[in-house]
Amino acid sequence: MHARLEEIAAIVGAGNVLTGADVAQRRVDWMTGASCRAGAIVRPGSTDELAAVMRLCHLAGQPVVTHGGLTGLVHGGEAGPDELAISLERMDAIEAIDTIGGTVTVQAGTPLQTVQEAADAEDLVFPLDLGARGSCTIGGNIATNAGGVRVIRYGMMRQQVLGLEAVLADGTVVTSMNRMLKNNAGYDLKQLFIGSEGTLGIVTRAVLRLQPKPGSERTALVACPSFDGVAGLLGHMGRELGGSLGTFEVMWRNHYALLTEESGRHTPPLPTRWPYYAIIESLGGDDDENAARFEATLESALDAGLIEDAVLAQSDTQRRGIWAIREDIEGLIQHLAPLFTFDVSLPIPDMPDYAESLETALHERWPSGRLVVFGHLGDGNLHVSVSVGSDDPDTRRAVERLVYAPLAKLGGSVSAEHGIGLEKRDYLAISRTPEEIALMRTLKRALDPQGLLNRHKILSLER
């Protein structure tokens, strides 16, 4: 590898090939704090540099692992001593903003929050939003088809990408930087790379859609008496608010009470005695009109028995306080460690029985075990956190089976928005048919015949 590193250093600069302690000090898993074990970290500064690096790697049969913001939760950034980590941290430029066409052209290493702020400065909005916004990168968002809290209004990352550029395993650069909403000229090649977790190519640049900035944003936290009330409320808000419903997030009581009353980390805006809590946001034009419509819709939901109580944020500070309860993953880790986290999707009507049955199964095996549930209920995505007092490999596998096995008969998915990586690879068949997996392997062989890109991720190596 040393000879190859000298050649790579000639391309990217000696200061951009990290080895030894500079590699070990980098954390590749923010939950566990695991250190990077790659043979070296290479930091190209452009698509051309990355392409040249990949040509060398292809000739030498050198496997690589792509690094973005390293905020993933499925061990997608893990690399072994015989692998190179390709970090796109230097490729962080916003190249252009088209305020008329509503697009922004960015490099893959650009943090999500940077793109949001650039759009905001032009009175536009980049609608993808998630808790790791300050660290996660656009390339990582594309590679995992990130979701976040506004999927119900704007869709997943896939819906935000008009065009992209990617480097293949052999160094070929595929430039498909489309800026148009409509382009049916043959295959939509960008879709090959969105959600493929860096296994088919390394995304280097992208053209993203921007949206008009809402003139009004109203936020409420509501308490629901039952899951039927939650589901009914979702339908009610969707009908009454129409296209202005921006967010519908739900916290089971076990999440809400833990992070407020039990831990003392947050002051509960509402008492903790109800089984479900929802964060609802309305994004409108005129603020007075949006506020009146939002409040009237909540009042009618209260009259219909869909909610028991509600609090409306009267300021940005109050809004942030509500969201802090939902997004306090550090609090979950602190109070439940060792912690297993899961990201699943399933039909909304099946959610209460799924969560109840899972909690029962956990308590049968680990009487002191704890289950915490919250998620993007409006788009069928739940985040499940489990603590049973141990995180050894056998325990992890046992918990994983309890969480994933019921999804098969429900038509659910083992991954709603975090990807497969290494962690969920062995459970892919729960959510994909043999024919789908076979086609995935065909695509992998076609684009990366040597298996150099993020090997072992998503698909196990064929024997």
Please report the domains of the chain, with CATH numbers, ordered by start residue: 2-87 (3.30.43.10), 94-212 (3.30.465.10), 216-329 (3.30.70.2190), 337-416+429-434 (3.30.70.2740)
Res. 463 pLDDT band, cuts 50 70 90: very low
CB 391 within 8 Å of CB 340? yes
| 224: its two tokens | 């629901």
The Cα 55–Cα 169 span in angstroms is 8
Determine the pLDDT at residue 1. 60
Tokens at 51, concatenated: 């392409």
The alpha helices in 112-161, defined as continuous H runs, are: 112-121, 138-144, 151-154
Strand ordering across the sheet containing 84-87: 17-18, 40-42, 84-87, 64-67
pLDDT at 274: 98
Residue 357: the pLDDT is: 97
Choose among 44, 94, 92: nearest CA to 66. 44
* Beta carbons within 8 Å of 233's beta carbon, 6+ residues apart: 222, 224, 278, 280, 301, 306, 307
> To which residue do tokens 């000696």 refer?
14
Band of residue 4 on the pLDDT scale cut at 50, 70, 90: confident
Share of the chain above pLDDT 90, in %: 91
* Confidence tier at 267 by pLDDT (50, 70, 90): very high
How far apart CA 78 and CA 66 sit, in angstroms, is: 9
pLDDT in tens, 194-216: 999 999 999 999 999 999 999 99
| This prediction's pTM | 0.93
Statement: residue 7 has pLDDT above 50: yes
Lowest-pLDDT choice from 17-31, 136-150, 317-331, 377-391: 17-31
H helix or E strand, kind and range, residue 181 = none
Distance CA 235, CA 353 (A): 20
- pLDDT in the model for residue 75: 83
- Tell me the pLDDT band of 242, cut-offs 50, 70 and 90: confident
Give the pLDDT confidence score for residue 191 in this predicted structure. Answer: 96
